[in-house]
Amino acid sequence: MTDTNASEQPEDGTAITAATFRAALEELEEPVATASAVARVLDCSQTDASDALDRLAEAGKLDRQDVGDDPVVWYPREFADFVDPEHVVIFPERRELVVERPEQFTRAQLTQFAHLVDSADEAYIYEIREEDVWWAPYDHIDGLVGTMRDVLSEPAPKLEEWVERQWTRARKFALTTHQDGYTVLEAESPDLMGNVARQKLDADQLHGPISDTESWVVEGKEGAIKRTLYDAGYPVQDQRELEGGAELDIDLGVDLREYQEDWLDRFLDTGAGVLVGPPGSGKTIAAIGAMADIGGETLILAPGRELAGQWHEQLLTHTSLDPEQIGEYHGGEKEIRPVTIATYRTAGMDRHRKLFDERRWGLIVYDEVHHVPAAIYRRSADLQAKHRLGLSATPIREDDKEGEIFTLIGPPIGTDWAKLFEAGFVAEPEVELRYVPWRSEEDRTEYASVEGYERRQVAGTNPAKLDAIRSLLADHADAKTLIFVEWLDQGQEYSDALDIPFISGETRYPERERLFDEFRRGERSRLLVSRVGDEGIDLPNAEIAIVASGLGGSRRQGSQRAGRTMRPSGNSQMYVLATRGTREEEFARNQLRHLAGKGVRLHETDAS
């Protein structure tokens, strides 16, 4: 006998009762659940689930917990005594925090000033690094310290003292504009100018001194100065008054969401920044909104031609710009127009660089901005504009140079991923790490007999993975699916065996675009892709992502591949296949650790 009664039946027909809610908890294997999680299990909208759960709470069937603007969680009333509170342990000397069972509100606050190092079960380990303090999104140190005190379980005076020192250190140098129009490097004191700036920078970067605390900057060397002083532990505040360039009227043809408006307001306050949000959260649309508000000629830099083409389409679709106002400049086309979309590589080449330097841009947009610290892209950061806006879902780098991104382009501006999942703006993917056994003892022996890169390849191409993929495709027969592989031979083998097209860097551009376009329009439901699909490819509504190999890659790669399924509608799932008993297990956990810190649910299973 269930406890269903008339008071539990909502007018909209969403039949969620206390009994069905408990059943949903059992399926989720959790003691509490958000409205979006219940909606996913019971196949209804997040709004309907929230309304129904509110009715159950009002009827005394459920309890709820709400921390500020953090997503609400519901649980059976009898569970109240067993719900464990979060617990924060501080290690001031190591500048580390261990948070047990962190609430989403706490995780959101921690992202303002700390870096997730690891997560295991219910424990999250955070580290507070110098760059986390340097670019914390606060106008004054009091705001940062106030957030820390809200999160920490006990006073931490030594940690606060260190944070205040780092905050002050990040404001020792500034680039300003002299009344005669040239750029000046200013130091807080003569000692800093003489013993730091003058020692680290040479005549190619600084002309003669103007005063004991000011030096005249060589034109075009602003980016190099920022990098050099950043490496010395002194990020530079960019306070230049740059020309805005020619005006350009742009009307935006779409309404921005509340969090996108917040991104835009924070960016316009400073004139520089990096939008950080999950794939599908609308960073491109927010950047187009910035173009409309600034109203100046704009240069958009992208990693490749595919992304340049997608920008072109987005601009024509969502703005009042005419086709003749938009140009592309890369290996395929070379047109400089009021809005120009170029590749990083082309913009950094000496023979093309002058064309970009001669034009005064009101805004430069750096898409997939995590590329900027790389040697072949770095020169593009020297291009000057009144406003600089970077975009990235994952501004992390395995060489730990993400701080350089923010000193070259601007401070991070973002929204907690979990909030966007809960609000239904982005579909939260479920990520399952599935361990695959060896197909035969001979395969296991081959793995044991080789070393290094070859051993990784043997594990990555374990023949049993093909059977695991067939099983997953059968389980999700009607879903739009992407399968990622690392090696070209493996991709071609799977393509032949599964009768699915394989797209790699060797695929000709027209053929690649045709297949991607068919996938976007729903004319094709499955694709095999190499690393070419890791970023910069718009693949909306991909419901399933299967990572067959490539687990030696970066944390950013893991986030990007999961991001192929993060879109504003539907449920999505990512399966990561790792050969049991090999280093792939460790690589997979490292890749997915970053996702766990963003609020994405992770599960581990064994393939049969």
DSSP letters spanning 172-225 = SEEEEE-TTS-EEEEESSHHHIIIIIHHH--TTTEEEEEETTEEEEPTT-HHHH
Higher-confidence position of 322 and 73: 322
Say if CB 516 and CB 306 are below 8 A apart.
Answer: yes
Q: Which residue is listed with tokens 């067993």?
A: 82
Would residue 599 be called left, alpha or beta, if left means φ above 0 and alpha means ψ between -120 and 50 degrees?
left
The span from the CA of 608 to the CA of 605, in Å, is 9
Task: Find the mean pLDDT for residues 290-319.
Answer: 91
- Residue 273: in which H helix or E strand, if any? strand 272-276
Q: How many residues does the chain have?
A: 608
Distance CA 551, CA 583 (A): 9
- 275 is a domain residue: yes
Q: What is the reported pLDDT for 3?
A: 40
Residues 468 and 597 grouped into a single domain: yes
Which of 152, 169, 186 terminates a domain? The answer is 169
Judge whether 247 lies within some domain.
Answer: no
pLDDT band at 341 (very low <50, low <70, confident <90, very high): very high
Instruction: Mention every residue, 6+ apart, whose C-beta is less than 8 A from residue 384.
Output: 220, 222, 242, 361
| CB of 57 closer than 8 Å to CB of 74 | yes
Is 50 exceeded by the pLDDT of residue 9? Answer: no
Is residue 273, in this structure, part of any structural domain at all? yes
Q: What is the pLDDT of residue 521?
A: 85
Strand order, beta sheet including 236-238: 206-211, 214-217, 183-187, 173-177, 236-238
d(CA 302, CA 308): 6
What is the percent of the chain where pLDDT is above 90? 30
Could you give the strand order of the β-sheet that contains 601-606, starting from the edge strand earlier in sequence?
Answer: 502-503, 526-529, 481-484, 544-547, 572-579, 429-436, 601-606
Tell whether the model's pLDDT for residue 86 goes beyond 90: no
163 lies in the same domain as 181: no
Are residues 526 and 381 both part of a single domain? no
- Per DSSP, what are the bridge partners of residue 388? 272, 364
244 in any annotated domain? no
Q: Which two tokens stand for residue 40?
A: 């996913």
What is the Cα–Cα distance from 168 to 164, expressed in whole angstroms?
Answer: 6
Quick one: 351 and 435 in the same domain? no
Domain identity same for 473 and 528: yes
Would the pLDDT of 452 be above 90? no
For the ranges 503-512, 544-553, 558-567, the one whose mean pLDDT is highest: 503-512
In the numeric block, the tokens 């990622």 are attached to 484
Q: Are residues 56 and 95 in the same domain?
A: no
- Our count of domains for the chain comes to 5
Q: Is 90 exposed, middle or buried (0-12, 13-18, 19+ CB in 10 A)?
A: buried
**Domain-located, residue 251:** no
Distance CA 595, CA 81 (A): 30
The separation between CA 359 and the C-alpha centre of its own chain, rounded to angstroms, equals 31
User: Which tokens hold the place of 546?
Assistant: 């299967």
313 within some domain: yes
Which one of 150, 169, 188 terminates a domain?
Answer: 169
Helix 441-449 vs helix 452-460: crossing angle, to nearest 10: 160
Q: Are 531 and 486 in contact (CB under 8 A)?
A: yes
Range of the domain at 586: 427-606
Residue 253, in any domain of the structure:
no
Q: Which value, to the nearest 10 degrees, does the dihedral of the CA atoms of residues 584, 585, 588, 594 take?
A: -140
Distance CA 303, CA 307 (A): 7
Mean residue pLDDT across the chain: 81
Domain boundary, last residue among 355, 390, 418: 418
If we measure between CA atoms, which residue out of 562, 576, 396 comes closest to residue 485? 576
Over residues 468-480, mean pLDDT: 92
* Residue 572, beta-bridge partner list: 429
- Pairing mode, strands 272-276 and 385-392: parallel
User: Is 243 part of a structural domain of the chain?
Assistant: no
Look at the alpha carbons of 251, 252, 255, 258 in this order and tell me if their dihedral is positive or negative. negative
Instruction: Report the C-alpha gap between 308 and 330 in whole angstroms.
Output: 9
Q: The CATH number of the domain where 402 resides is what? A: 3.40.50.300
**C-alpha distances out from residue 64 to 74, 77, 80, 339, 441, Å:** 4, 9, 9, 50, 52
542: Cβ contacts below 8 Å, ≥ 6 apart = 480, 481, 482, 519, 564, 565, 567, 572
Residues 383 and 481 in one domain: no
Q: Which two three-digit tokens encode residue 390?
A: 């970077």
Give which of 264, 546, 339, 313 is closest to 431, Cα–Cα. Answer: 546
Rounded to whole angstroms, the Cα distance separating 392 from 159 reads 30
End-to-end CA distance of the chain: 37
C-alpha 39/C-alpha 21 separation (Å) is 10
Same domain, 375 and 265: yes
**303 and 350 both lie in a single domain:** yes
- Count Cβ neighbours within 10 Å for each residue of 351-362 and write b for 16 or more, e otherwise: ebbeebeebebb
Average pLDDT over residues 529-546: 65
More confident residue, 146 or 25: 146
- Per-residue pLDDT of 98-154, as tens digits, reads 888 777 678 778 878 888 776 655 677 888 988 889 888 788 999 999 999 988 878
Does residue 318 surpass a pLDDT of 90?
Answer: yes
Assigned token pair, 532? 């070419």
**393 and 496 housed in the same domain:** no
Examine the domain organization and report whether 91 and 226 are in the same domain. Answer: no
Asked if 336 and 327 touch (Cβ cutoff 8 Å), the reply is yes
State pLDDT tens for residues 197-220.
999 999 899 998 999 999 999 988
Q: What is the mean pLDDT of residues 460-470?
A: 94
Same domain, 150 and 103: yes
pLDDT class for 598, splitting at 50, 70, 90? Answer: low
Q: Is the pLDDT of residue 566 over 60?
A: no
Are the C-beta atoms of 554 and 393 separated by less than 8 Å?
A: no
How much is the pLDDT for 305? Answer: 83
How many other CB atoms sit within 10 Å of the CB of residue 72?
A: 17
- pLDDT recorded at residue 71: 56
- Cβ neighbours of 47 (radius 10 Å): 13
pLDDT interval class at 10 (50, 70, 90): very low
Which residues, 6 or more positions from 181, have their beta carbon under 8 angstroms from its beta carbon? none
**pLDDT tens column, 386-402:** 899 999 876 554 345 56
pLDDT of 467 > 90? The answer is yes
Sheet arrangement for strand 33-34: 33-34, 73-76, 62-65
Q: For residue 100, what pLDDT is reported?
A: 82
Euclidean distance between CA atoms 226 and 407, whole angstroms: 7
